[in-house]
């Protein structure tokens, strides 16, 4: 019996490798096991390559795992193109279709990795049982049920749940396909493979959630009831979820003609008194830049989710990367303060989204949630009560209206003074009308081009950044590892998972390393980063950006030691445990 398994599947769109991975992960979560399922598609709208990688374990998992223990290859051409994402080891169980003419000797793997190769008649079994080749992925689930030793009845329930909206005939056909795949493996494979099953003990079921789902749910918890957006990979799931959920609570989801209109509507709804939100990716943010500046100068709250993908331009629409950092920080023209928060896991998407709404609403400015495809679209098993236990559960900021005295004295929406945050009104509030424009203004919102007033308004807007640093001084960064360590790593976003995974193992084997992960990138947690750096003798920066955006962020805002080491590469595939382990060992 093994403590965990990593299962990889690759094929064409329509082969069902992603849905098979989801069913497998969902079934494991029903048993109380932890799992992570990542999916990857080609850039084609239909018919391109697709893969899934599912890691199932008794303990919480931080990464998708490295080499796979079981590989299902529907065709070898796609595997050759994406083999680096589904690497095998010498005991990997290799499964591919019986009607594939490729012999075991000729499959594109090194000889030492061909010990356990099996041909399975997926298509034939699917046609015989479900009367359609589309059920071949369910046949695979049956095979995997046998190999993993997971309870057959739990997998059966997952299949019934998956097809509950289909006809009884479809459900019955898929259950027959599941049984046939299971029986084939029991008869032809089980006694001939190195895996004797996966260890598990049945406990409370877990929820399977993606980062995009977590952000959407957190927006509801934060009290947001207006979403405007334009579909774009890899953030479109947020719009799809909210199109169902917002109307249930009296909210509204609008699909706009483009991203400019989307953020324009968000700002308009916020001006009218509603918490408002949009989600996009790098190309969409490029179009939103002018509107982000409007939100900043008019001091109107707006929350923007950027699920980063490979760039520039269309780039790698379905792949992960961390190369929109400079865009998030600096893309607007002029001096435009904004909040940027960075989730580092699916779980943290809840806290970071709640925090983004809190900061946007309280400090009246744009707040960007800077996630990436790896966080946004991977499925992770979380404990059912994890949201309720989160310290940000229930921490919601509601805008106060100005009191009567402020209104009676003549409402100054942008009043200068010791407190740069002036309560907002909304259209229709008696004595509370004001002009909210993108042109520089005086205290009442009237246009001005007086240099002294421009200086005062910039000072007012940036004072809010100082207030955020003070209010959240204990929540700006995350520390991992022993405080006394003198070797340290700084990373951000989804990179944190693999770094934490590696550090925990290395520190148990004689190393002494700590990690700093900024959770808020703007305003810059300068004091916390400087304090961390001052305690180190050796420093390593890790990021997924070819142009070293995070490195230059640190160098420009806080300074870095001359001997700092950097590991960076382009996106396309998440960092692996082996990759980061080798980097850290070489650095320290």
pLDDT for the residue numbered 482: 98
CATH code of the domain containing 535:
3.40.50.920
Hey, what are 147's tokens?
């190999």
Average pLDDT, the chain: 95
Whether residue 77 sits in one domain with residue 40? yes
Whether residue 195 sits in one domain with residue 99? yes
Please check whether residue 395 lies inside any domain of the structure: no
- What are the pLDDT digits (tens) for 501-540? 999 999 999 999 999 999 999 999 999 999 999 999 999 9
- What are the pLDDT digits (tens) for 235-256? 999 999 999 999 999 999 999 9
C-alpha torsion 128→134→135→138, nearest 10:
150
pLDDT for the residue numbered 394: 83
Hey, what are 111's tokens?
């000889």
Hey, what are 490's tokens?
């700084």
Which residues span the domain enclosing 439?
404-471
Whether residue 243 sits in one domain with residue 107? no
> Does position 447 have pLDDT exceeding 70, yes or no?
yes
In the block, which residue shows the tokens 């830049």? 289
Pairing relation of β-strands 49-57 and 34-41? antiparallel
- What are the pLDDT digits (tens) for 352-411? 999 999 999 999 999 999 999 999 999 999 998 888 888 888 889 999 999 999 999 999
How many C-beta atoms lie closer than 10 Å to residue 501's C-beta? 17
Whether residue 44 sits in one domain with residue 182? yes
Q: What pTM was estimated for this model as a whole?
A: 0.95
pLDDT for the residue numbered 47: 62
Please check whether residue 529 lies inside any domain of the structure: yes
What number of H helices and E strands is found in the chain? 20, 20
Query: In this prediction, what percent of the chain has a pLDDT beyond 70?
Result: 99
Whether residue 315 sits in one domain with residue 300? yes
pLDDT for the residue numbered 333: 96
Count structural domains, the chain.
4
pLDDT band (50, 70, 90) for residue 42: confident
Average pLDDT rounded to a whole number, residues 8-19? 90
Give the residue from 413, 445, 471 where a domain finishes: 471
Please check whether residue 492 lies inside any domain of the structure: yes
Whether residue 118 sits in one domain with residue 213? no
Whether residue 264 sits in one domain with residue 356? yes
- What are the pLDDT digits (tens) for 154-207? 899 889 988 888 999 999 999 999 999 999 999 999 889 998 888 887 788 899
Please check whether residue 339 lies inside any domain of the structure: yes
Output the CA angle 227-228-230, nearest 5 degrees.
Answer: 130
Average pLDDT rounded to a whole number, residues 272-276? 97
CA distance readout (Å), 382 to 218, 277, 492, 534: 15, 25, 21, 36
Please check whether residue 396 lies inside any domain of the structure: no
Interhelix angle 17-30/152-162, rounded to 10 degrees, is 120
- What are the pLDDT digits (tens) for 319-334? 999 999 999 999 999 9
pLDDT for the residue numbered 190: 86
Whole-angstrom Cα distance, residue 374 to residue 384? 22
Looking at 472-566, list the stretches that DSSP marks H as alpha helix, in order from N- to C-terminal side. 495-507, 526-534, 549-557
Whether residue 109 sits in one domain with residue 45? yes
Average pLDDT rounded to a whole number, residues 342-359? 97
Give the residue from 446, 471, 496 where a domain finishes: 471
pLDDT band (50, 70, 90) for residue 46: low
Whether residue 558 sits in one domain with residue 461? no
CATH code of the domain containing 300:
3.40.50.970
Whether residue 539 sits in one domain with residue 442? no
Pairing relation of β-strands 302-308 and 513-518? unpaired
Whole-angstrom Cα distance, residue 382 to residue 211? 11
CA distance readout (Å), 188 to 101, 103, 183, 184, 439: 20, 18, 8, 6, 74
CATH code of the domain containing 134:
3.40.920.10
């Amino acid at each position: 019996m093994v403590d965990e398994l990593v299962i990889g599947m690759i094929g064409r769109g329509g082969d069902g490798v992603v849905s098979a991975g989801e069913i497998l992960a969902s079934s494991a979560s029903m048993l109380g096991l932890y799992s992570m399922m990542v999916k990857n598609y080609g850039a084609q709208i239909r018919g391109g390559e697709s893969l899934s990688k599912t890691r199932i374990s008794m303990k919480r998992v931080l990464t998708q795992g490295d080499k796979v223990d079981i590989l299902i290859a529907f065709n070898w051409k796609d595997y050759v193109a994406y083999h680096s994402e589904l690497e095998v080891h010498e005991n990997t169980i290799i499964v591919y279709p019986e009607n594939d003419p490729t012999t075991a000797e000729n499959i594109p793997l090194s000889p030492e990795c061909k010990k356990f190769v099996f041909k399975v008649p997926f298509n034939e079994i699917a046609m015989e049982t479900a009367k359609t080749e589309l059920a071949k992925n369910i046949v695979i689930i049956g095979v995997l049920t046998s190999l993993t030793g997971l309870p057959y009845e739990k997998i059966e329930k997952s299949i019934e749940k998956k097809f509950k909206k289909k006809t009884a005939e479809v459900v019955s056909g898929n259950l027959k396909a599941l049984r046939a795949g299971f029986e084939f493996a029991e008869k032809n494979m089980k006694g001939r493979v190195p895996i004797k099953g996966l260890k598990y003990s049945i406990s409370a079921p877990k929820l399977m959630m993606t980062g995009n789902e977590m952000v959407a749910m957190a927006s509801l918890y934060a009290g947001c009831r207006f979403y405007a957006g334009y579909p774009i990979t890899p953030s479109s799931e947020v719009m799809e979820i909210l199109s169902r959920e917002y109307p249930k609570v009296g909210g509204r989801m609008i699909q706009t003609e483009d991203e400019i209109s989307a953020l324009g509507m968000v700002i308009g709804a916020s001006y009218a008194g509603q918490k408002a939100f949009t989600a996009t990716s790098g190309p969409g943010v490029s179009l939103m830049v002018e509107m982000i500046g409007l939100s900043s100068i008019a001091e109107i709250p707006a929350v923007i989710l950027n699920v980063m993908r490979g760039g520039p331009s269309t780039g790698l629409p379905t792949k992960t990367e961390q190369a929109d950092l400079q865009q998030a920080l600096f893309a607007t023209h002029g001096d435009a303060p904004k909040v940027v928060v960075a989730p580092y896991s699916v779980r943290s998407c809840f806290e970071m989204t709640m925090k983004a709404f809190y900061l946007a609403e309280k400090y009246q400015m744009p707040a960007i949630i800077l996630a990436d495809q790896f966080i946004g679209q991977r499925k992770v098993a979380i404990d059912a009560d994890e949201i309720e236990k989160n310290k940000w559960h229930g921490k919601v900021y509601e805008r106060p209206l100005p009191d009567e005295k402020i209104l009676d004295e003549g409402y100054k929406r942008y009043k200068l003074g010791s407190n740069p945050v002036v309560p907002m009104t909304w259209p229709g509030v008696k004595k509370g009308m004001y002009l909210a424009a993108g042109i520089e203004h005086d205290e009442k919102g009237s246009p001005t081009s007086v240099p002294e007033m421009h200086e005062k308004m910039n000072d007012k807007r940036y004072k809010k950044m100082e207030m955020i640093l003070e209010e959240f001084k204990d929540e700006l960064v995350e520390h991992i590892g022993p405080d006394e360590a003198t070797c340290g790593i700084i990373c951000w976003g989804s990179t944190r998972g693999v770094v934490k995974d590696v550090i925990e193992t290395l520190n148990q084997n004689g190393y002494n390393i700590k990690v700093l992960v900024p959770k808020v990138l703007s305003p810059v947690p300068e004091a916390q980063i400087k304090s961390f750096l001052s305690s180190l003798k050796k420093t390593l920066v890790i990021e997924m950006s070819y142009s070293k955006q995070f490195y230059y962020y640190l160098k420009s805002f806080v300074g870095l030691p001359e001997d700092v080491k950097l590991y960076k590469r382009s996106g396309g595939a998440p960092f692996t445990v082996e990759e980061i382990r080798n980097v850290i060992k070489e650095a320290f």
